[in-house]
Structures are given as structure tokens and as C-alpha cells.
Amino acid sequence: MTAANGEREPYVGRLAPSPTGALHLGNVRTFMIAYLRARTVGGRLLFRMEDLDHPRDKPGAADAARRDLDWLGFDWDAEFVQSERRARYRAAIDDLHARGLAYPCVCTRRDVEHAQSAPHEGEQLFYPGTCRGRFADWDAAARVRPQPCWRFRTPDEAVVSFTDGCAGACTQDVARTLGDFPLARDRDGAGYTLAATLDDLAMGVTEVVRGDDLLAATPAQILLRRALAGARAAPPIRFFHVPLVVGPDGKRLAKRHGDTRIAAYRAAGVSAETIIGRLAATCGWGDGAPVRLAELVARGPFAAIPKERVVVKGASL
Ligand code: GLU
């Protein structure tokens, strides 16, 4: 990204694991790409633990992820934990609410599904804005239903276009496909969209590198980013969505495809260099021979990665 004065903006990237399970070949491949995109241009890299998803978060998974990444040779310049940042998310919602850009909603999931004309599998849930302008504040909503949620007031014209570094040109009419999307499930909570978007803005992230399962979540994040920045105008941000690693059945890598957890390889005596070398080869970087992450940094920056999903046939490397 070149700034108006011709200077290249410093790159700021992030690794943002959720502690919902052990790191495996799939998420480590995405982290490796994120790491190399930052380090091969001399950029900064942040580590952000996204631990707000309580029912799904697993005890010990956050520490295990740090340990695995450290063993593989990753490093970062600063570390953040989302559960320690709740006050910021709440302040952001209050601010959006004060500006008429967020509102409490008492619709249940069933109400929303009912309002939806023809839901297709995998489609995001459309919310038509039934509770818009209905309640003066949270307490008024909570008197109608004990557990309201916060929603973003999507502008009536909200066609978002961006060019993904991997997927290319993307466009979504957020107003017509998603409508007013949720920001938080309770008064002081923060959902993934709000927390990640606010953090990317607050932490000065210039490029988001993550799995392509989040490509569809991006237009809403771009809209929310603009709203959060308000009059300050959001600095540009780029997105690079990495095709997922899948099993032979085409489904996202999971236990049934074999034990591809980093901890399992370590326990079996496989070296970090072997794992990194094999993952790098799936990107077209090298012949699969063992290599340290730091050596790959010295060989970059790298050309584009393959646009196809990577198929892992089993746990053996
Ligand atoms: N924490 C999310 C995950 O592990 C990634 C979020 C993001 O990169 O925006 O799926």
C-alpha cells in the first residue's frame, strides 16, 4: 500500500487464533502465510487471542496454541487478549448506539428465520430490521425480553466491494443479503464481528490474512469499520483470504481425517522444520524439504499462493 506521499505504509499483520481446539496443519498453514507476508516485508505482527466465544472455547487451548506456535518458530511483536478488552467493545457499542448506528433487538432466532423469505444452506441469516427505532435504550428492550442482543444498523444502500489479495474482486449487497447484523449477544458482550473489526482498526492492522471461510464475513466488517471510525475515516485495510486445507472429502480438516494436531506430531518426534517445509511446499515455496521459518523469511517475499484448496490425505507428512 503506497501512501499519498509515496512512502510505503508499514505493514501490520496479525495472528488471531480462537482457543476452540488444538492447532492443526490447516490453521498453521494460514498462520505461516500470515507470518511470512508480514515478516518478508519487514512488517509488524500482532498476536491476538480471540477468546470471546465462551461455549466453544476450550480450557488450556490458548496456552497450547502459544506453545505450538513458539515451537514452530513463530514470533510476534505484541500480544492482545480479547477477553481483557471488553470495556472497549462496550464503549464502541455505546458510541454506535448514541450515533443511531446500533440498537437493541428482542427478536429470537426463530423470529428472524420466520422473517427470512428463502433461507439457503450456508447463507447468512438476513435480518430485516424489525426492532430498528423500537426501543430508546437497552433497558426498554430488556423489559420486553430478558436477553436482547445489539444489532448494527446497516445503511439502506450498502453494496460493499473490495479486492481480496487471494480471491480477487468481491462484492456484497449487505443491506439486501444480511441486513442489520448482530454485534453482541448481551449488554456487555461482543460478538466476533465487533471485536475483530474494532481491534483491527484500533491496532492499526493493514492486512488481514485468514482462512477463506471468513471471506463472506468481510463486507459486514468493512461497513462496521467505516462506522466505528466515523468522522476520522478508516485507514485502508487489505484482505487476503487463504484457501482452506480440506480432507479428501472436500470438508474442512477435522479429526476424522487423521490426527494433524501440531502437538501430536511433536509428541511423535516430527520436527518443526519438517512441518514448515511440507506446508511451504503446498504454497509452492520449496520442494518440501525441512526448513526453519526464519530461513523462509530470508527467501521471501513470495509469489502468490495457489487459489485451490489444499487436500490433506492423512496425518502422515
Ligand atoms: N479467530 C478467528 C478464527 O480462529 C479468526 C478471525 C479473523 O482472523 O478475523 O477463526
Of 235, 241, 237, nearest in space to 209 by CA: 241
Q: Which residue is associated with the grid cell 517475499?
A: 301
Asked if 203 and 171 touch (Cβ cutoff 8 Å), the reply is no
Q: What pLDDT, on a 0 to 100 scale, did the predictor assign at position 280? A: 97
Q: DSSP secondary-structure letter at 87?
A: H
Cβ partners under 8 Å of residue 98, min gap 6: none
* Ligand 1 atom closest to Cα of residue 27: 4
Of 220, 151, 137, nearest in space to 183 by CA: 151
Q: Which three cell numbers stand for residue 175?
A: 443491506
pLDDT tens sequence across 74-111: 999 999 999 999 999 999 999 999 999 999 999 987 77
Instruction: Give all domains of the chain, ordered by start, each with its CATH number.
Output: 12-311 (3.40.50.620)
* Top mutation candidate among 45, 47, 193, 210 for ligand 1, by most atoms within 8 Å of CB: 210
Of 48, 94, 70, 89, nearest in space to 203 by CA: 48
* Number of Cα atoms under 13 Å in the Cβ half of residue 26: 25
Residue 117 clears pLDDT 60, i.e. is over it:
no
pLDDT tens sequence across 38-79: 999 999 999 999 999 877 888 899 999 999 999 999 999 999
Of 3, 46, 27, 30, nearest in space to 263 by CA: 27
* Ligand 1 atom closest to Cα of residue 217: 9
pTM: 0.93
Q: Does 24 sit in the ligand 1 pocket, CB within 6 Å? A: no
* Top mutation candidate among 30, 31, 33, 50 for ligand 1, by most atoms within 8 Å of CB: 50
pLDDT tens sequence across 265-302: 999 999 999 999 999 999 999 999 999 999 999 998 99
pLDDT tens sequence across 235-249: 999 999 999 999 999
Q: What confidence category does residue 2 fall into, taking pLDDT thresholds of 50, 70 and 90?
A: very low
